[in-house]
Structure 1
Amino acid sequence: MLTRELLRFQRRSGFRPAFVDPAEPKLVEFASELLAAYEGAVGSRMRRAEQEELVDVLLKGARDPKLAAGLNKLILDRCSFDPVRSVDYPAERRRLFEAAAAALPGAGGSIEAYREALLAREGAGEFMASDIYGDLPDNERLTGWRPLYPAELLHRYNIALVQGLLVYADDLEVTAADSNPAELRRLFKYLRFFRLLAEIRRLKPKGKGKVAVGMKISGPFSIFANTRKYALQLAAFFPALVNLESWSLSAEIRLDGRAGALKLDQGCGLVSHYRNFSSYVPEEIRMFHKLFREQVSDWKIVGESPFLDGGGQEIVFPDLSFRREADGRTIHLELFHRWHRGQLDRRLALLEQKPDMQLLVGVDRALADDAAWKVLETDHPALAGRLFRFRDFPGVDRVRRVLDAFAETNSGEKKRCRKSMRT
């Protein structure tokens, strides 16, 4: 991510990111030199301070210092720095200093005798041979990085300019269309992974054979709690949108006391680095899938969750879908987190209007504490069998029990929620 001082944009008819041309020879040359400096620093396990001095020469000689600093920031985000040794440095220093104080009186003023007495202490020689301040940031070693090509770095820079502005966004209006419905499902999964607030509706596609949707996504400035975390998750979602054949984004940006529109579409030439979908699946979701496969035999997680009819033109996209092995019955699960209060109220109202919808609702305790949960149960008694609470992410056993209970309670129903988008 680019910090505020590294963002390059123009305030002309709104906010216009100052995109670079990833094929411009001089830019490619500079990016190559910068990446080569890091590759050499990794190979020699260079100290952070030394690495900064090496790169600083390139940054100060750049035609556009802010652009150069932005590229450097993106590379730094891909680096890992570690202490010289894997030891408890504060504790080791304390023992060394105590040993030094104890050895001093017996040295008789001789530096050699003092040194020999100190080295005789167990572990002191090895610790002194390394850097006793190896845990300080400047002394940490550059131990690894995730390399990339110069053109990739420049494309990521363009994406990062937009991400940096979205941190200051009000609501986003997004349209997305693709001839492959699986791509839209993948987009919605990213939306769920990053726990964003969104209203999804069907749109009439402009191209033959395409599926189109519109989304209103709440921005950080429309959220009242944990806005920094939400802003970063919104920024992380943007590259997923760029992957589609056709897309557009419109947002109101509030920055430095001024407001203006940010408008982008597929014609901007942005290239997403989101290629391997599994690389961006949150760890808690990976773990849930793994444990569910291991611990539950009568239900299976469905690979592709369908689009459910939310009434009117609204679409409901569940977080997870489960199929019972015995009879093929499918039940969906939608999760609501701390920012999703308005969405939760709308979903509960929808379920009361459509009691046959095979949808369970999980509510994060951060959204509904004990008092709020009692109010929900009182206001929606007919939905008691499909509501449950969790903390951050539901456990496998809890989900299995809710699935079994809901399937048993509704076993006599003949209607099933089949009003999904045909794709």
Structure 2
Amino acid sequence: MTIRTDSKNSIHSNRIIEDESDSDIESVKETKRRRRPFQKIGITFLGVAIIFSLLLVTVPAALLNHVNTFVDGVLFRALFAAFVACLFICLCSIYYLGGENQAWEDPEGNDLNLSFQNITVILGIVIEFVQLFSFSFNQLSPFLGSEELRNLNYLAIPYEPGKVFRVIGESYTSNFIARNEQRYYSILWFLVNTMYLPVMSTMFGGVDCTFQSDNNIVSWDSDPSLTCLRGIHIVFIVCSMVALVVYYPAASFAQSQTQNISDIKFKPTVVFIFAQGKVLLAAMAVFATSYIYVYLAAVIVVNIVFLGINVILEPCIVEWVNRMRTVFFSFCCISTICSWLALIPNIKDFVPMILMIFGWVAFAVVYSMLYYFEINLGISEKIFSLIRVKETPRKPPPELNKSSSHINQNL
């Protein structure tokens, strides 16, 4: 009698396990089924982006001597903006909505040892701050010390008008990485994260032209001796388009998918948003530096968004990294505000610098006191409590419920 009961229990247990495995398989299939339309949309917009790139290379060049230079410049920039927009939609559809959003498992602890991998990531975070910080300064809003701080922008935009950015020793570099690929795999995230802005800005620089309607001169800002949409510049445009199609989606996705090299990890969704903010900063630095108000407005908006996301979502699994990034983004916001103040007529050139240093010190003191006295403002909890929807407990299927109750009775 006992043997029969045990056999019945094992049969029901096996049936429950089979039901659970079948439900897991169905959920995986359902997830893939939901992602398929987004992937098709992404492929469609990729094709549209390629069409816009072909139009960008051919149409403005063909119309250069037949229409007003200003009109041709507007058409050239409109086609490039449409190309980037389609590429962005492709990126969102294929890599974000149609891909995996979780690049790592949620850890249980918050411990962090100072290994080489973790130190490399911390260094990358600091360099990222310096890159973002450098966008706060513009040559059209000068004040005491701003020019020296603006030179930090070479870490993000590695060229200036008249000086084309060229890679020196690329053969030696590729051979060195090939020989030490496994040993230096931990610097992959560092390279992807820190080189994202320089590479994107260099690609944007390939299509950065100045259209002068008064004398019909179209010059390439990276090298004013070359004429845009003529000769070798056509090759540069083609290379920039191909590089953007390959690099922009892959690098944006890779920043969230290469985080398993260290213990410092960020929510993939936030990493994706930050990458798009960096693209906007690179575009403004390449195309809109002369439009000072638009430029500074874009920079302050990106900095505020970065700060808000970091405070509300706390994207990093290591708490002190979130606090460090809060300080960094706050410093960026204060610096950009001081650049705005430098535009005030008849203001002394040392006033913005004094206000910037005072703002840094004041924020650091207040933030340190909040942390030292363990004052938790609970901003993220309050916001999430307003938007959180109460979930109703999910009932198990009837058959599974009957099987589990029958097993309990037999036991």
TM-score between the two structures when normalised by the length of structure 1:
0.24
Greater fraction of residues in helix: 2
